[in-house]
Amino acid sequence: MSSSVLMVFVPTFIAVSLTPGMCMTLAMSLGMSVGLKRALWMMFGELIGVGIVAILSVIGVAVVMLQFPAFFIALKLIGGLYLVYLGLQLWRSRGKMAICSAKKGEISRKALALQGFVTAIANPKGWAFFIALLPPFIDPEKPLVIQLFFIVSIILSIEFSSLLLYALGGSSLKRVLQEPRHVKILNKIAGALMMGVGIWLMFE
């Protein structure tokens, strides 16, 4: 990828990545509910999902998936319902993700990573964006594998920075409001955000 192409690609993806969306909202919600350190596991799963979506979009598999959407729709519904369930538990200050219950148990790293992965894979805007944006940046005269590695590395670096920024914002809000009288309010904010992501995922 030439320097002139990079000057277009990088700012474009930074702008898209920083725009509030499902993954960024989930990062903020988890930053509030489980803290920045544990939210990193969600980011790990999300980055794997984003990498897969980017690669498949370039090689054309995404087009086939969009033509046969039954599995895709099922994944969206299951993932969305699960996020709504977790958000409801947070709203009611119950469950392992609720701040007031943090000492009683924590949601597993695997479950956090799975949330991020499903949200990235089942995000139709992610597929549409990559299908539209990435192919023009691929030079057919150069090795595809090398180009994909380079492009996906840039994408994941920018995406991780954006996720970290949102999760840090949520974690900072948690520290500010983590007095006993504010805990319920914080749980309701985080729960509402997570339920919003779940509903967004199901009906997008």
* Cβ atoms < 10 Å from Cβ of 157: 14
Of 82, 62, 59, the closest CA to residue 72 belongs to: 62
The reported pLDDT for the residue numbered 102 is: 43
In Å, what is the CA distance from 57 to each residue of 62, 90, 149, 202? 5, 35, 14, 21
- Please enumerate in sequence order all residues whose Cβ is within 8 A of that of 168, keeping only pairs 6 or more positions apart, or say none: 31, 36
Task: Provide the pLDDT for residue 179.
Answer: 64
Q: Which of 107, 118, 111, 121 is nearest to 34 (CA)?
A: 107
Local structure of residue 135 (DSSP, 8 states) = G
- Alpha carbons 20 and 81: distance in angstroms, whole number: 21
Q: Mean pLDDT by 10-residue block, N- to C-terminus, for the chain (204 residues)? A: 69 78 87 89 96 85 63 76 82 63 64 91 80 74 84 93 92 72 74 83 76
Contact assessment for residue 179 and residue 1, using Cβ atoms and an 8 Å cutoff: no
CA distance 41 to 186: 21
How far apart (Å, rounded) are the C-alpha atoms in residues 165 and 112? 18
Handedness of CA 19, 27, 116, 73 (dihedral sign): negative
Q: Are the CB atoms for 18 and 162 separated by under 8 Å? A: yes
Q: Which residues contact 148 (CB under 8 A, 6 or more apart)?
A: 54, 55, 58
**pTM recorded for the entire structure:** 0.75
CA distances for 123 relative to 7, 49, 71, 135, 188, angstroms? 27, 10, 13, 19, 24
pLDDT at position 51 = 94
